[in-house]
């Protein structure tokens, strides 16, 4: 079934079964319109997370990796985040292929430990979470998906960067009633499902990278949010296991440069 035929078939079902589309994304809208309430809700989400002193959460994420042939292959991982502001973070990452890595920052040192290979790289970096994230991604050229979500500084000036925003619908994600919101900037499209109520936490997120060839997507689903976990400082301290080899940080290949070798593409 072609995309056009499938779309026509869905519209047909709406018409025949009598569904209304007052809140549907399929309804014609002004692509450059701004819904101020959606902007406010997004701002509240960022504020709420940045003001939370302790956080633990699990993310199930997947992303499109463009191959040399032009085909997109999906890779994914499950990550467990532990955050203790202002300067402690740990992320336990398990890829779908079984490879495991752990990111540590204790306020003084950044360490990435590859459990599968039993190797680690470490560098001295004093500062807070934002300074550690910036150094890791910009100076070491290493990926850290969702780091900006947990930053104390917003990833962008919402009012200046967003060129379009809209309220899509009310949805249930992970058992929580959420507001489904969509935003556009010059570089990315963002769709996020934010929990209604006193805890405006994201339950799902989709990011489309419009400037990358083929507009690949990154998708994340959140679970087990805890804003008062018991986190000891020792959780964030890396102690090299027996026979672990120390190596240098090596930048991971960027998303649109990933080769068709699955082992390289999944890292």
Is 116 within the bounds of a domain?
yes
Residue among 216, 191, 215 nearest 204 (CA): 191
Is 145 within the bounds of a domain?
yes
| CATH at residue 242 | 2.50.20.10
Poorest-pLDDT segment among 42-51, 106-115, 184-193, 243-252: 243-252
Output DSSP code: residue 136: I
pLDDT tens-digit series, residues 189-239: 999 999 999 999 999 999 999 999 999 999 999 999 999 999 999 999 999
Domain extent, residue 108, equals: 31-160+227-258
Q: How many domains does the chain have?
A: 1
Is 58 within the bounds of a domain?
yes
Q: Are 188 and 207 in contact (CB under 8 A)?
A: yes
Is 189 within the bounds of a domain?
no
Is 16 within the bounds of a domain?
no
CA distances from 148 to 62, 66, 175, 221 (A): 17, 23, 25, 16
Is 231 within the bounds of a domain?
yes
pTM over 0.85: no
Is 174 within the bounds of a domain?
no
Res 106: pLDDT: 97
Is 146 within the bounds of a domain?
yes
Tell me which residue has tokens 């360490």.
Answer: 111
Residue among 253, 223, 221, 252 nearest 62 (CA): 221
């Amino acid at each position: 079934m072609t995309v056009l035929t499938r779309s026509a078939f869905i519209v047909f079902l709406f018409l025949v079964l009598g569904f209304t589309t007052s809140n549907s994304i399929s309804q014609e809208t002004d692509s450059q319109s701004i819904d101020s309430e959606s902007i406010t809700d997004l701002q509240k989400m960022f504020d709420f997370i940045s003001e939370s002193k302790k956080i633990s959460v699990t993310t199930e994420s997947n992303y499109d990796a463009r191959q040399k042939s032009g085909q997109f292959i999906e890779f994914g991982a499950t990550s467990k985040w532990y955050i203790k502001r202002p300067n402690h973070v740990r992320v336990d990452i398990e890829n779908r292929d079984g490879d495991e890595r752990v990111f540590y920052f204790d306020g003084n040192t950044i360490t990435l430990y590859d459990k599968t290979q039993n190797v680690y790289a470490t560098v001295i970096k004093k500062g807070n979470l934002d300074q550690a994230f910036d150094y890791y991604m910009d100076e070491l050229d290493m990926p850290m998906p969702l780091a900006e979500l947990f930053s104390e500084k917003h990833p962008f000036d919402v009012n200046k960067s967003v060129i379009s925003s809209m309220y899509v619908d009310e949805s249930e994600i992970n058992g929580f009633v959420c507001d489904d919101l969509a935003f556009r900037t010059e570089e990315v499209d963002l769709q996020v499902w934010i929990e209604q109520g006193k805890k405006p936490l994201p339950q799902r997120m989709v990011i489309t990278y419009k400037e990358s060839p083929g507009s690949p997507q990154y998708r994340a689903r959140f679970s087990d949010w805890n804003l008062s976990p018991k986190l000891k400082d020792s959780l964030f301290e890396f102690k090299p296991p027996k026979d672990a080899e120390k190596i240098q940080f090596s930048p991971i290949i960027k998303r649109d440069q990933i080769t068709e070798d699955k082992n390289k593409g999944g890292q």
